[in-house]
């Protein structure tokens, strides 16, 4: 047995779809209710679908009974305020698990590297069913910001940097790729994140919107990259020292975003 996956994601683990005309839609992300939920930086989350239809962000496996990141329950009071975001998350017709808007405060490159993590979307996911991946729809026009994806958290030799203007649409195997966002700016960044189950519906959606892995890396000066590597190493060392002092095992992989 093996999971059902998207062939288009097999090589690099991410795809960039056609850009969405975000300008036409109202800023629904400003109307919905946010929870303080710290994950990979200074963040809050506004769920549209959650484990039981409540405004909370916990992994579905932390509920009773525990389950994988599928069959999210839409939250009526949130979807009523964000019909366009809801429509977009549902458009592929793939099963939706968690669906929420992330609010991320400005995050420089070095801090982003420190935040790199893999998601845990497929915990408890039965073998032979669809592999859960994530859709990312950038909502704010973050022209100086970029998503960072790596195969190995501390190895910059494979690093994809995806530009995040308004309307940018990505699909990422976030359990495979280490990921976080560099957000340069003064205002928070907002992005709709949806857990989708891989299968023919998602494949058709990828094809319809011309999903491609062949995109240019967002250009960043080597000096900024080098300073970021140093900052990541410095923070990693500080975290390791902290856990060593407490006599606990370090926990790097954060799983909730």
What residues pair up with 147 in beta bridges, in sequence order?
A: 162, 181
Give CA–CA dist 190/194, Å, rounded. Answer: 13
Q: Which of 103, 119, 120, 142 binds Fe ion (CB under 5 A)?
A: 119
Smallest distance from the beta carbon of 76 to Fe ion, in angstroms? Answer: 26
Chain position carrying tokens 């790199």: 116
Task: Give the residue ranges of DSSP H helices in 22-176.
Answer: 76-79, 83-90, 109-115
Nearer to Fe ion, 81 or 189 (CB): 189
Question: 79 or 118, CB closer to Fe ion?
Answer: 118
In sequence order, what are the beta bridge partners of 190? 103
d(CA 143, CA 22): 14
d(CA 162, CA 159): 10
Q: Which is nearer to Fe ion, 6 or 39 (CB)?
A: 39
Give the nearest distance from C-beta 174 to Fe ion in angstroms.
5
* Spatial separation of the C-alpha atoms in residues 245 and 64, rounded to whole Å: 34
- The enclosing H or E element of 57 equals none
By beta-carbon distance, which residue lies closest to Fe ion?
A: 257
- CA dist., res. 256 & res. 177, Å (int): 15
The distance of closest approach from Cβ of residue 69 to Fe ion in the complex, given in angstroms and rounded to an integer, is: 11
Q: Which residue has the tokens 């073998």?
A: 127
Q: How far is the CB of 208 from Fe ion (least distance, A)?
A: 25
CB closer to Fe ion out of 81 and 98? 98
Q: What is the spatial distance between Cα 19 and Cα 60, in angstroms, rounded to a whole number?
A: 30
Nearer to Fe ion, 43 or 174 (CB): 174
Residues contacting Fe ion: total by CB under 5 A: 3
**Rounded least distance, CB 209 to Fe ion, Å:** 22
In whole angstroms, how close is the CB of 113 to Fe ion at the nearest point? 14
Binding mask 168-207 for Fe ion (x = CB under 5 A): ------x---------------------------------
Q: What is the edge-to-edge ordering of all strands in the sheet holding 178-182?
A: 159-164, 142-150, 178-182
For Fe ion, the closer CB: 41 or 130: 41
Tell me: does residue 257 bind Fe ion (CB under 5 A).
yes
69 sits near Fe ion (criterion: CB under 5 A): no
Which residues are near Fe ion by CB under 5 A?
119, 174, 257
């Amino acid at each position: 047995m093996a999971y059902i996956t998207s062939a288009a994601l097999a090589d690099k683990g991410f795809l960039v779809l056609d850009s969405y005309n975000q300008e036409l839609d109202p800023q629904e992300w400003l109307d919905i209710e946010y929870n303080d939920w710290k994950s990979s930086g200074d963040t809050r989350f506004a769920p549209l679908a959650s484990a039981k239809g409540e405004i909370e962000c916990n992994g579905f496996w932390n509920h009773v009974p525990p389950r994988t990141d599928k069959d999210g329950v839409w939250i009526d009071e949130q979807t009523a305020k964000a019909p366009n975001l809801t429509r977009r998350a549902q458009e592929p017709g793939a099963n939706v698990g968690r669906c929420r808007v992330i609010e991320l405060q400005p995050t420089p490159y070095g801090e982003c590297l420190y935040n790199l993590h893999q998601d845990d979307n497929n915990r408890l996911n039965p073998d032979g069913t669809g592999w859960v991946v994530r859709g990312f729809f950038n909502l704010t026009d973050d022209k100086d910001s970029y998503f960072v994806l790596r195969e190995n958290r501390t190895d910059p030799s494979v690093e994809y940097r995806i530009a995040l203007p308004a309307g940018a649409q990505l699909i990422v195997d976030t359990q495979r790729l280490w990921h976080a966002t560099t957000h340069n700016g003064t205002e928070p960044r907002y992005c709709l994140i949806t857990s989708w189950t891989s299968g023919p519906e998602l494949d058709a959606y990828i094809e319809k919107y011309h999903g491609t892995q062949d995109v240019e890396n967002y250009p960043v000066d080597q000096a900024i990259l080098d300073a970021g590597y140093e900052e990541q190493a410095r923070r990693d060392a500080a975290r390791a020292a902290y856990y060593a002092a407490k006599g606990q095992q370090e926990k790097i992989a954060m799983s909730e975003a």
